[in-house]
A and B are shown apart, each in its own frame.
Chain A
Amino acid sequence: MKKVLFYTNQFFGQIGGESEAYFKPQIYEGARGAANSFVPQLREIAEISATIVCGDNFYAENMETCQTFVKEQIRSIKPDLIIAGPAFNAGRFGIACGDVCKTAKSLGVEAITGLYEENPAVEMFRKECYILKVGKSAAGIRKAVPLMGGFAKKLLTGQRIGFPDEEQYYPRGQRVNYFSSSLGSERAVEMLIAKIKGLPFETELPISSYQRVEPAKPIKDLSKAKIAFCTSGGIVPVGNPDHLVSAAAKFWKAYPVGEASRLVSGEWECVHAGYDPVYINEDPNRVVPYDALYRMQQEAKVGSIHPFLVTTTGNSTSVLDATRMGNEIAEYLSAAAVDGVILTST
């Protein structure tokens, strides 16, 4: 028999109502309160070894204490799965359930909970654990038990977990490839016919929202400013010493430019796979106009030039990697007391 550790709050753990919201975490042997409704579901596969009950306010205001308590119980009981909630649309209870699951996962123990879609804990914890879609209030318990119980059984018996819409869990945000039974072009025509007829259809790629970056304030006096170049054009010293890739780069580099008045052809090369590199290899100043900036510095129009070229390959780079590299580069440039940066793309 597998072992399940159950988590619930003061209300569903039959301690009391709002007046018991500061009830300190307690462990009870076997199933208690809401946990009892899961017992028939799990029969022959798992038993509910114990139930943790904790008041919602206590958990919300003493998270570290509660996490320690949960960890201690997990270490002594060694459960195969944690079931928390379901917490429906209850905010504090939802956060406690999500946090219990996150804590369990940090110890390598699988954990699930059930929440209503508007519960703020969904957004907070959807990447941490499986959160099943349940009703708004406790009246939804009748549907929630078979859904969560069935899902728990799958996890406990090592069955394949289906897609979010099949299993009714909130997507964790991870894009995963698979082979469809029909060609992309066929699916596109099907989708188009549905869209024309006003029938329901489901896009295969939901619209993303992007982080907006507020531009920095203008430089007041360029003649005193230190300017740097940063390119996503994949320009590297010839020989590509750090093996910068031609696409999907995960790192950036700062290479010394030295005292030169321009990027010298033959000393630099382009490794970027997303554009025609021939003209850049002929004259790297075409993608990083170092020669022009050098002239402006000689004419005292620009204070100084940061003597390193910051470079990476911007080609099929995921938005997430690009965001991380952008943050790293911004920190590097601030540390080098750079006032302004010219970003060149391709």
Chain B
Amino acid sequence: MELELRNIRINDVILGKQNRLFEGVLTLDAEALRAHLMEDDRIASIRIDVAKPGESCRIVPVKDVIEPRVKEEGEIFPGSFGSDVPEVGSGITYVLKGCAVVTTGPIVGFQEGVIDMSGPGAQYSMFSNLINIVLHIEKRSDLDPHEHEKTVRLAGLKAASWIAAIGRDYADYEAETISWPSLEERASQYPGLPKVVYVCNCMAQGLLHDTYYYGRDAKLISPVTISPNEYADGAVVSGNCVSPGSKTTTYHHLNNAVIRSLLARDGKELNFIGIVLVPLMVTLKEKYRNIMITTRLVCDELNADASLISQEGFGNPTTDLMRICHNLEKRNVKTVIITNEDAGIDGMSEPLPDMLPEANAIVSTGNSNATILLPPMERVLGHLSDVKSVTGGSVESIKEDGSLLMEIHGIMGSHNLQGNTYLTAKTL
């Protein structure tokens, strides 16, 4: 399988009357985009804004962030739309770098977060560095929460692919090739190097805690092997999972940091042999089943020497994380974990609710309970008052002048558990 990513650098985004990409400046026919999304009759209204890095602008409550991508032939985000599930991972994919689609609008649940385009909060979110095309989506009044979430999720994906299509004939791109040969070839190509498997845990626990695999609810899948190419083409989509700081947005999946870091070392210090996507489910029996199958895939099918596990969520998913680590280490698979921690506001608590002695190599993406004061912003896209309900926020969070005192939990991607953040923590 070989995929060519044509990365187009976007330097500015303008809402205008016709679609155009010229010298890195993307002009959007905002009315046409709106009409395209409004074809879904579950949507009552859409407002489109652009928020740029450095602006005094706050977006809240953010549901998902999606990088604009489109395939030259075929369909990006396969299985999300229509009745067909086309194959992905080969051919050509256009990527608009430096910008993103951000979905906001009335809150669905508690898992939606804040993006500040400047100020101290901007340091905590990779999305503060992007030119964000913000979709403020209002649902039809009779939709229930599940339908509401789905409507907004699909609108974001649709917009991302519609916008990326503007880049289709653009000549100024940087090509990047991801090749993923058959397992047999992968296993034999670097005989002296340790075989490394990436275990990607993903949430599968209900409303705003889901992941979609080829459009299928991840609660309905077993652990499955998947390639970097499929990730790059949107085979894995966020169901706006978990709290804002630790959620894996669709943008994170498309640009999976662990995959990128492993590919960079592939053939040099290690042999990147495979990826296992693991749904983190609610009940103990499902956990045991998925842990067992994951162990089988990593050890018996892929015959790994080492593994790297990335996490999503905290609390009950920590049990899955620790058990998988325990099993792999017992089978002599050297394992490293990436997780965040909940060490309390003052950092004095045990950082994780569950730990096993085999978890002796952990990368921390920071204490999510640490608080931050976010100064008021001149422009707010969305609904500031929803901060009272989001993870990391409370009624006391919103100050009279519009500043927010909240846990960094509430900032989108602040402690991303795929390690797509510089944040970490240390014991003083």
Decide: B207 and A174 in contact? CB cutoff 8 A: no
Least CB separation from A272: chain B residue = B110
Interface residues on A, range: 35 or more
User: Does B409 interact with chain A (Cβ within 8 Å)?
Assistant: yes
Q: Mark A142-180, 1 if CB is under 8 A from B, else 0.
A: 000000000000000000000110000001111111111
A205 to B361, CA, bound (A): 8
- Closest chain-A Cβ to B61's Cβ sits at a distance in Å of 12
B interface residues, how many (CB within 8 angstroms): 90
Q: Mark B98-111, 1 if CB is under 8 A from A, else 0.
A: 00000000000111
Decide: B419 and A246 in contact? CB cutoff 8 A: no
A275 to B314, CA, bound (A): 12
Binds A, one of B37-45, B172-180, B346-354: B346-354
Decide: B420 and A185 in contact? CB cutoff 8 A: yes
User: Does A334 interact with chain B (Cβ within 8 Å)?
Assistant: no
User: Does B129 interact with chain A (Cβ within 8 Å)?
Assistant: no
- Closest chain-A Cβ to B120's Cβ sits at a distance in Å of 12
A180 neighbours in B (Cβ, 8 Å): 422-424
User: Does B297 interact with chain A (Cβ within 8 Å)?
Assistant: no
B262 neighbours in A (Cβ, 8 Å): 189
A191 to B144, CA, bound (A): 45
- Closest chain-A Cβ to B409's Cβ sits at a distance in Å of 7
- Closest chain-B Cβ to A277's Cβ sits at a distance in Å of 7
Given known pairs A189-B261, A208-B355, A210-B350, the reply for A316 and B391 (CB within 8 Å) is yes
Contact of B391 among A176, A177, A247, A277 (CB under 8 A): A247
Q: Mark B111-143, 1 if CB is under 8 A from A, else 0.
A: 100000000000100000000000000000000
A191 to B258, CA, bound (A): 13
A321 neighbours in B (Cβ, 8 Å): 344, 349
User: Does A195 interact with chain B (Cβ within 8 Å)?
Assistant: yes
- Closest chain-A Cβ to B254's Cβ sits at a distance in Å of 14
Given known pairs A175-B425, A178-B426, A188-B338, the reply for A318 and B359 (CB within 8 Å) is no
B207 neighbours in A (Cβ, 8 Å): 276-278
Decide: B341 and A175 in contact? CB cutoff 8 A: yes
Binds A, one of B51-59, B66-74, B182-190, B367-375: B367-375
Q: Mark A204-215, 1 if CB is under 8 A from B, else 0.
A: 111110100000
User: Does A220 interact with chain B (Cβ within 8 Å)?
Assistant: no
User: Does A182 interact with chain B (Cβ within 8 Å)?
Assistant: yes
Decide: B350 and A189 in contact? CB cutoff 8 A: no
A186 to B426, CA, bound (A): 17
Decide: B343 and A196 in contact? CB cutoff 8 A: no
Q: By CB atoms of chain A within 10 A, which of B336, B393, B421 has the most? A: B336
Decide: B258 and A177 in contact? CB cutoff 8 A: no
Decide: B409 and A185 in contact? CB cutoff 8 A: no
A319 neighbours in B (Cβ, 8 Å): 349-350, 353
Decide: B306 and A192 in contact? CB cutoff 8 A: yes
B205 neighbours in A (Cβ, 8 Å): 275-276
User: Does B315 interact with chain A (Cβ within 8 Å)?
Assistant: yes
Decide: A164 and B421 in contact? CB cutoff 8 A: no
Decide: B409 and A183 in contact? CB cutoff 8 A: no
Contact of B419 among A185, A193, A206, A277 (CB under 8 A): A185
User: Does B26 interact with chain A (Cβ within 8 Å)?
Assistant: no
Least CB separation from B416: chain A residue = A184
A172 neighbours in B (Cβ, 8 Å): 427-428
Decide: A277 and B338 in contact? CB cutoff 8 A: no
Given known pairs A207-B357, A247-B243, A316-B409, the reply for A174 and B270 (CB within 8 Å) is no
Given known pairs A183-B261, A185-B260, the reply for A316 and B314 (CB within 8 Å) is yes
B388 neighbours in A (Cβ, 8 Å): 243
Q: Mark A291-331, 1 if CB is under 8 A from B, else 0.
A: 00000000000000000000000111111111000000000
A201 to B190, CA, bound (A): 25
Contact of A191 among B257, B265, B270, B336 (CB under 8 A): B336
Least CB separation from B370: chain A residue = A177
Q: By CB atoms of chain B within 10 A, which of A174, A177, A206, A246 has the most? A: A177
Decide: B419 and A208 in contact? CB cutoff 8 A: no
Q: Mark B281-294, 1 if CB is under 8 A from A, else 0.
A: 01000000000000
Decide: B342 and A248 in contact? CB cutoff 8 A: yes
Given known pairs A189-B308, A191-B363, A243-B395, the reply for A176 and B144 (CB within 8 Å) is no
B151 neighbours in A (Cβ, 8 Å): none
A314 to B421, CA, bound (A): 26
- Closest chain-A Cβ to B202's Cβ sits at a distance in Å of 16
Decide: A248 and B350 in contact? CB cutoff 8 A: no
Q: Mark A95-113, 1 if CB is under 8 A from B, else 0.
A: 0000000000000000000
Least CB separation from B208: chain A residue = A276
A320 to B348, CA, bound (A): 8
Contact of B367 among A173, A177, A185 (CB under 8 A): A177
Cβ-closest 6 pairs across A and B: A276-B206, A184-B419, A273-B110, A185-B419, A318-B344, A320-B349
Binding site for A on B (CB under 8 A): 109-111, 123, 144-146, 194, 196, 205-209, 243, 257-258, 260-262, 264-265, 269-270, 282, 305-306, 308, 310, 313-315, 334-339, 341-353, 355-357, 359-370, 388-396, 407-409, 416, 418-428
Sample of 9 more A-B contacts, CB < 8 Å, known A172-B428, A184-B424, A246-B110: A175-B428, A177-B367, A177-B370, A183-B422, A192-B336, A196-B194, A273-B243, A278-B207, A316-B314
Binding site for B on A (CB under 8 A): 163-164, 171-189, 191-193, 195-196, 201, 203-208, 210, 243, 245-248, 271-278, 314-322
